[in-house]
Structure formats: structure tokens, C-alpha cells
Amino acid sequence: MLERPPLTVALIGNPNTGKSTLFTALAGVRQRVGNYPGVTVEKKVGSMRLGERRCELVDLPGTYSLAPRSPDEMVAVDVLLSRRGDVAGVDAVISIVDATNLERNLYLVGQVLEMGLPTIVALNMVDLARARGLTIDVERLREQLGVPVVELQANRGVGVNDLKRVLAESVDAPAARNRVSPFPEAFQRETEHVQTLWSRSDAKSENGREPLPRYLAERLLLDTSGYLQNTLTSQAADARAGEELLAARKRLAEAGCAVPAVEAQCRYRWVAEVLDGVVTRPSQRVEIVGDRVDRLLTHKVWGTLVFALLMLLVFSSVFIFADPLMGMIDEAIGALGGVAEAALPPGPVESLVVDGVIGGVGSVLIFLPQILFLFFFLAVLEDCGYMARAAYLMDKLMVRVGLSGKSFIPLLSSFACAIPGVMATRVIENRRDRLTTILVAPLMSCSARLPVYAILIGAFIPATTMLEFIPLQGLTLFSMYLLGMVTAAVVALVLKRTLLRGPTPPFVMELPNYKWPSPRMVLYRMGERGWAFVRRAGTLILAVSILVWAASSYPHNAAEVDERLEPRREALETQLAELDVSSPQREGVEEQLVEVENEIAAVYQRESILGHMGRAIEPVVRPLGWDWRIGCAVIASFPAREVVMGALGVIYNLGGDLDVGAASDQDRLGARMRAAEWDDTGEPVYNVPVALSIMVFFALCAQCAATLVIIRRETNSWRWPVFTFVYMTTLAYGAALVTYQVGMQFF
């Protein structure tokens, strides 16, 4: 027998109803995550089997209402009405509702039912409702709602099989749809009027005869923001349609059904009818453990204290757990490089594979443990319902820079790494807030900046105290972190007043019930984010690392090396070969050999494209107090800022494989930098203002291709990563300039 065509089932529900958990329980790991073109909404599609049939499950973004006021909100409506080319026509809808708050949840169900698709209501969190003392007459609800209702505990997987069975039944035998509209006569008449009006003017309908869906006609009447009218009018030819719509609304207002207020009135009246006799509440509200916990966690003093401790715990454990793994990855990459080096003949191919490909990919993979751990903790906190409390506690602070409490966690995460920070902004619904948070997140001093600060502070800031008790080195480090935060606050304020200015909707956020996090959900989210990072960032980083490698290796100008250094190297090698294995002189000769080899590498780099670029931009960086060597290192570190230490290592003849984490290597590099001199005057290059100007530059500059790629992915446009790069680099240059020029007045 031929297999029947796959079914498409849409999953919809309010936020915090366990929708994602149900999606994972139904589709398992067979999920594909992408973006709908032109919007920032995530497109999550999974597949499952319904008996004999294959079934595509489309997870729609969590929403309280199907009243689109932006392209992002339009996605769900378009999918349900089969108006999107990239999603197959929907055969059935699973509408998940929170049993503890049926009233609000059924508002959305009412809208879904009007679409006329076979619908199943998944009644989730029945256990929680029971704990609250609510009794729900499911049979009666089924009857009054007129569609199948399945009880569920999605986080424990209870009821999932029932849901599948009922779903299979209802797609095989779709019940006769004779939906009663919750709206009064007058409104329905106007809806039909709008429908014919728009269908007549709809250019496509000339031959296709596809009238405007009734639901959209309703929304046109109800949406006074004008979004829907603009979207649909672009395909309408009748210029009078707009006027007609205004006239229809006026008639409705006169008839006592003013839009948009009429919708809430009618829908809640319908909800009350459906719930009549269904929910029995206890006469006194039952206090559950979650309520007592919540009183502590949202307390202004204790709650804030618990939050601070929790964040301290999360971030320190991210570093503690990730550190050994990062060391292992580093070693594995080094070992792989060694294997490749041994297997390949010395030359450009070996150099490309070892330094370009393996080194480049390694610089991305090294961040994976931090990302995975951070997302593990964030997923646990989010899944158990704590995140909204954190946003509540931090709202007072964030509102001062024009953002909301929801921006706090993403920005805090960015201190570890901006990539998970940018990914974590998905919880922010307000588009302008989300963009602002994404754009300022890379200003937080991430862990890759720390080695740069550590080396420069160790080498140039005296280890003394200010005012007898403030250690100057610690103060400098703190200032760098503070600089990032203050700049982020100012940039956020400026963005919200200029580029991302717009009406701020009232800030209302649900504080969901506490629940035990679902391990499956947590692991899944961790894996998903980690993979997104590796795939998206890995490919670009690889390309850029090869570019930087090529720029620092070519042209391979051997003239100077052959003439001056090669004979010395050969002489030393011969000397080494002649010496006895146990000779005490051996060590000295070996050291000299390494020194010469490092110098050869340095000469090659000076003569390479990168070296020439460094010298070409010297006039630009000279006002910052930098010589061409620093310029070179800064150029090389644009793809990934941690490259800077390796680049400086090569430039100062220490070899490229410095371990920036090791104190001894930091000291060696510091000593070399202190000894560096200007080529023309012979004066020391580095002094305190130069060190500070470099640090300030690194604190503010967007030297991380991976972050830019993730910004591209999250905003769905190249405009924002380009903007981030330009504004941050400009800021960094300006701030470094001021630092050096002002600093020179004092030193």
C-alpha cells in the first residue's frame, strides 16, 4: 500500500504552558530549527509517527493571543491559515493549555477554534491544578468546548500517548465544523462585508478565487494599530477598502461594539460559558510550597540576595567546570596539530592545515564547554520558572537604561561569552529591547579579554596600592569591566532614543508556577544552542582563520632569511649534531636555535601581507601610541581577540604557541614588551598610557567574528552585525585615542 502524504500538525499555546516540553516529548530529537525568512521567529519543525502515518509537527511561538501586530506575530496566523509557502497546509492543531489558569488560556483556544481546523486541547499541568485544590470536570469541558480534551503532564511524559491516539482519530474523522462565532450579529455582518471587500480587491483572487479568510477579516476590523491593514492592503487594489474599514468600525461603535474592546468582552463571555460548571475552586486559596518559596525569591532584600548568590554560583561553576574541559580541548587540538605536522611534509600545506584549519577551528571549539555549561544552568533556571523572577528583580535597574528586566540575564551571560548572551535574548519579546540587548552585549568584557588585561596589567601597572588600601592592578582590571558596562548602558540609552526609538508597550510579564525542570528539555536546549554555535560560527571562523593565516604567511619572502638567518640556523644545527647527548653545552645551543627560529618566523611575518598592513596603518594607530607591531597584532585579532597574544608572541620572537593562561609565558611576553623599542627613535614603545590604550581598545572593540555571525543569525539580517562592528570599532578607537592622549599628560 502506498503511504499516505505526511500530515502537518501545528502546536500552539500560551507561554509557560509546557509547550516546548510537549514538543520535545512528541518529536524527540528529530527536530529542525531554522528561521522564517524576514522575521526573527524561530521555525521549529519536528517529525513523529501517528500509527502508520508520518507527521510533521510545527511548534508555533508561544503567545497569549492570535492578534498580529507585527511580522513576527503574523507567522503563527499565516501558518494556521496555510498562507505560508514554506510550511505545508495544517491538518490539525494541538492547543496546549495550563489547567491552573483555564480562563486566560481558553481566550487563545477560542481564536484557534475560529480557524475551523480539527483541534485538540491538551490540558497540561493537571497535577499542579490538583495541588491548588482545583477540580476540573474534563468530560463537561469536552462537551462544552466541542473538541477532544486530553489530560497531560508533559514534563513527566504522562498522557502523551493518549494525545497521539486522539490526534490520529481526529485527523482520520474530522468532525463537522460548524463554529459558532462569539461575536454579536452586527460584528459578524461587518466581518462578511470586509471579507467581500478585501476578496474583491485581492489581485490573486481573480483566477484563484481565494477569498480573504474570515479570521483575517475579523482581525482587520479589530486591529486598530494599522499593521494588518498595511500588510494586506499591499495586495489589494481597491483604494476605498481603507475608508470602508473605518466606516465599518464607526458603525460598530455606534452599535455598541467598539473595537478592539468588543473582542475581549465577547471572548471572555464565551470562555465563561465554556467553563460553566467545569472548574470547582476551593473556598480558600490553597497555599502551596511554591507560594512560600516565591515570597522569599521575590522579596526585595532576600530575593535580591538569593539572586546574587545564585548568579555567583552559576558563573563560578561555569568557569570551574569548563576550565578542565577547555584545557583538554586545547591539548587535543595541539596534539592533532602535532600529528598533522608529523604527517605532512613541511611547507605551505602543513602550515595551512596546522595553523590555519586546526588552529582556527580550535579557537572556536575552545568556547564550547563554557557555552554548554552556561546554557545548562540557564535552561534549568528557565524551565523551573525562576527566570521571570530574576527579570522582575532586575527590572528596576534595567529600566534606567531603557530596557527591561528580561535583558539582565543575557547581558550577565555576556561576561562569560557574548555568544550565549546574544542567544539568550530570545526570551525578550519586545523587538526593540531585544535588538538593543543584542547590540550592547558584546561590550561586556568576555572571558577572552581577560588574558589581554592580565598580561598588560601585569607588565605595566605597578603592583602598589592607591590611598593605602586599593591595589592599583585590581583597580585597573575592575575599571576595564566597568568601562564595558558603562559604555553598554550609554549605548543602550542612545539606541533607544534614536535608532530603536518607538512606543514602549506596557511591561507585563507572567510569573509562571514553579515546577521541576524536565531533564530532557534541559539537555535538548543545551545541545541545540551548542550545535548552533559550532555550525554557524565554525564555518565562518574557519574561513577567516585561513584568511589571517594566509595574510601572515604570504608573501613568503625568503631573501633576508636566506642571507642572514639561515646560515646561523644551519651552523647551530651542525653544532648540535656534533655535541655529545650528555654535553652540558647542549642546552645553551638549543636555546640559541629556538631564538633564531623564532626570529625567522618574525621576519616572515614582518614581510607578510599582515606585516605590510601593520606598517600601512601605523599613521592611523600612532595617535593611540601604538607602533606597527601592535597594529599588526590588532588586525590579526579581529576574527577572534584571543589571537592577539599569539600574534604578539610571533612578533616579539617568542614563537606563536604561547600559552596565554600560563603565568610564566605571560611574564616572558611582558618582559619582551617592556623591552620593545620604536624602530626610528629607539625609545620604549610601551608605557602606562600605551598599555591602557590597548586595554581600552580591546574592552570596546568588536573583535569576534563568531559573535557577529551569531548576531546575523539572531537578527536575520547582515545590517546589525555590520552596525555592531562599525560602532564598536569606532568607539574603541576614539576611547583608546582619548586614553593615550590624556594619559600622556600625566606620565
Residues within the interface to other proteins (CB under 8 A):
64-65, 67, 69, 100-101, 103-104, 107, 132, 134, 224-225, 260-261, 263-264, 268, 294-295, 298-300, 388, 391-392, 395-396, 399, 404-405, 504-511
How open is the CA angle 230-88-107, to the nearest 5 degrees? Answer: 60
The CB-of-517 to other proteins minimum distance in angstroms stands at: 19
**The three grid cell numbers given for residue 404, joined into one nine-digit string:** 527591561
Work out the burial of residue 488: count CB atoms within 10 Å of its CB; fewer than 13 is exposed, 13-18 middle, 19 or more buried: buried
The CB-of-260 to other proteins minimum distance in angstroms stands at: 4
The CB-of-184 to other proteins minimum distance in angstroms stands at: 17
The CB-of-268 to other proteins minimum distance in angstroms stands at: 6
Assess contact for 402 and 492: CB atoms under 8 A: yes
Listed in sequence order, the residues at least 6 apart from 690 whose beta carbon sits closer than 8 Å to its beta carbon are: 460, 624, 625, 626, 630, 740
The CB-of-392 to other proteins minimum distance in angstroms stands at: 5
Give the C-alpha separation, 695 to 475, whole Å.
13
Residue among 501 and 719 whose Cβ is closer to other proteins = 501
Residue among 265 and 317 whose Cβ is closer to other proteins = 265
Residue among 383 and 714 whose Cβ is closer to other proteins = 383
Give the C-alpha separation, 614 to 604, whole Å.
13
- DSSP strand pairing (149-151 vs 279-280): unpaired
The CB-of-115 to other proteins minimum distance in angstroms stands at: 17
The CB-of-154 to other proteins minimum distance in angstroms stands at: 18
SS3 annotation, 122-176:
EEECHHHHHHCCCEECHHHHHHHHCCCEEECEHHHCECHHHHHHHHHHHHHCCCC
Measured in degrees and rounded to the nearest 5, phi and psi for residue 468 equal: 75, -25
Residue among 287 and 591 whose Cβ is closer to other proteins = 287
Residue among 427 and 640 whose Cβ is closer to other proteins = 427
Residue among 289 and 581 whose Cβ is closer to other proteins = 289
Give the C-alpha separation, 659 to 680, whole Å.
31
Give the C-alpha separation, 434 to 199, whole Å.
36
Residue among 404 and 518 whose Cβ is closer to other proteins = 404
Nearest to 397 by CA among 387, 408, 389, 388: 408
Nearest to 20 by CA among 56, 48, 54, 61: 61
Coil vs helix vs strand at 642: coil
The CB-of-103 to other proteins minimum distance in angstroms stands at: 6
- How far is CA 723 from each of CA 429, 537, 700, 706, rounded to the nearest angstrom? 22, 18, 14, 15
**The three grid cell numbers given for residue 472, joined into one nine-digit string:** 592599583
Give the C-alpha separation, 500 to 498, whole Å.
6
Listed in sequence order, the residues at least 6 apart from 173 whose beta carbon sits closer than 8 Å to its beta carbon are: none
The CB-of-372 to other proteins minimum distance in angstroms stands at: 30
The CB-of-442 to other proteins minimum distance in angstroms stands at: 27
The CB-of-277 to other proteins minimum distance in angstroms stands at: 17
Give the C-alpha separation, 7 to 5, whole Å.
6
Strand order in the sheet with 42-50: 31-35, 42-50, 53-59, 7-13, 92-98, 119-124, 149-151
Residue among 64 and 481 whose Cβ is closer to other proteins = 64
The CB-of-62 to other proteins minimum distance in angstroms stands at: 13
Cis, bond preceding 517 (omega within 30 deg of 0): no
Nearest to 244 by CA among 212, 213, 198: 198
The CB-of-101 to other proteins minimum distance in angstroms stands at: 4
Residue among 151 and 294 whose Cβ is closer to other proteins = 294
Residue among 268 and 481 whose Cβ is closer to other proteins = 268
The CB-of-65 to other proteins minimum distance in angstroms stands at: 4
Residue among 2 and 301 whose Cβ is closer to other proteins = 301
Assess contact for 34 and 112: CB atoms under 8 A: no
Give the C-alpha separation, 333 to 473, whole Å.
33
Nearest to 515 by CA among 679, 381, 670, 351: 381
The CB-of-726 to other proteins minimum distance in angstroms stands at: 33
The CB-of-16 to other proteins minimum distance in angstroms stands at: 9
Residue among 505 and 567 whose Cβ is closer to other proteins = 505
Assess contact for 153 and 306: CB atoms under 8 A: no
Residue among 22 and 394 whose Cβ is closer to other proteins = 394
Residue among 225 and 598 whose Cβ is closer to other proteins = 225
Residue among 280 and 539 whose Cβ is closer to other proteins = 280
Nearest to 74 by CA among 280, 213, 169, 246: 213
Number of Cβ within a 10 Å radius of residue 649: 24
Assess contact for 611 and 554: CB atoms under 8 A: no
